[in-house]
Structure 1
């Protein structure tokens, strides 16, 4: 029973980080003018919705409730919250820097979730697959940020 509770807690934490990630990218799309960047951020929002759906499905198999909120506690979750409040009046480089900071937090959350022996192997496999998508998003944001820095210099 204790392991089940820990599994559900981990999955709910990941749902919260995705809710925060979605809110952060929704805010970012209102702050940038670049249509390609808006499209990319919209794709990232869609990726997080897909991850949330898979996580929620797993939680329901344990007959537990999904905590479908943004987070109000925890350092990792607060990172995305600070990202979504940062944007107002900032340039493309700043927006990308803050998005990368949030993506770093997402990566940390996934690393934390897959460490230890709380999750069954099939869930670690699922989270690893999700992490590949999220790592690609992180790397894309970082590459765009680096390119933006180079063009500003």
Structure 2
């Protein structure tokens, strides 16, 4: 049995704010990995960071598609983005271990942002929730990859 839930205009606005926040977070993730690429010499690590950049670009496209589907495109910052900016850390240093430490921290904050978005008291259509959960799962894999690189460099 299918149950249809009518999403109100207010809910649509909240969804738009959440999606906009996640777009900004993915844009910041791209900038972070661009800075990390500039700080290292290893071509394999640069290729890894480029994969992370491409992943965020795909996420942004998918989020924009959801914004169009939900008639939302406001630029207002919401709770998710404000919470994320409170915990994110500026990138510093050119030591490989430090670069990966900051990349892992960035991935931690991205996970926090997606968890916050999925747990907000906003009625979301199943398809949207599925998209966000799928992005979070892929980003978790990226987090684990970065963490494993960092752990190897620490040893």
Tell me the TM-score normalised to structure 1 length.
Answer: 0.86
Q: Give me the CA root mean square deviation.
A: 1.8
Larger Rg: 2
CA contact (8 A) 1:59 1:66 kept: no
Listed as ranges, the gaps of 5+ residues in structure 1 are: 68-72
Q: Report the equivalent of 1:108.
A: 112
5 Å-filtered alignment, 1:52-71, equals 52-65=60-73, 67=75
Match of 1:145 among 126, 133, 150: 150
Residue 128 (structure 2) aligned to one of 101, 123, 132: 123
Inter-partner Cα distance in structure 2 for 1:14 and 1:48: 10
Select which of 139, 144, 154 maps to 1:134.
139
User: Separation in 2 of the partners of 1:24 and 1:134?
Assistant: 15
Do structure 1's residue 20 and structure 2's residue 28 form an aligned pair?
yes
Is the 1:25–1:41 Cα contact (8 Å) retained in structure 2? yes
Structure 2 unaligned spans of 5+? 1-8, 76-80
SS in 1 for 2:149: helix
Distance of 2:19 and 2:48 partners within structure 1: 25
Normalising by the residue count of structure 2, what TM-score does the alignment of the two structures yield?
0.85
Structure 1 counterpart of 2:96: 92
**Aligned partner of 2:59 among 51, 58, 72:** 51
Aligned residues: 142
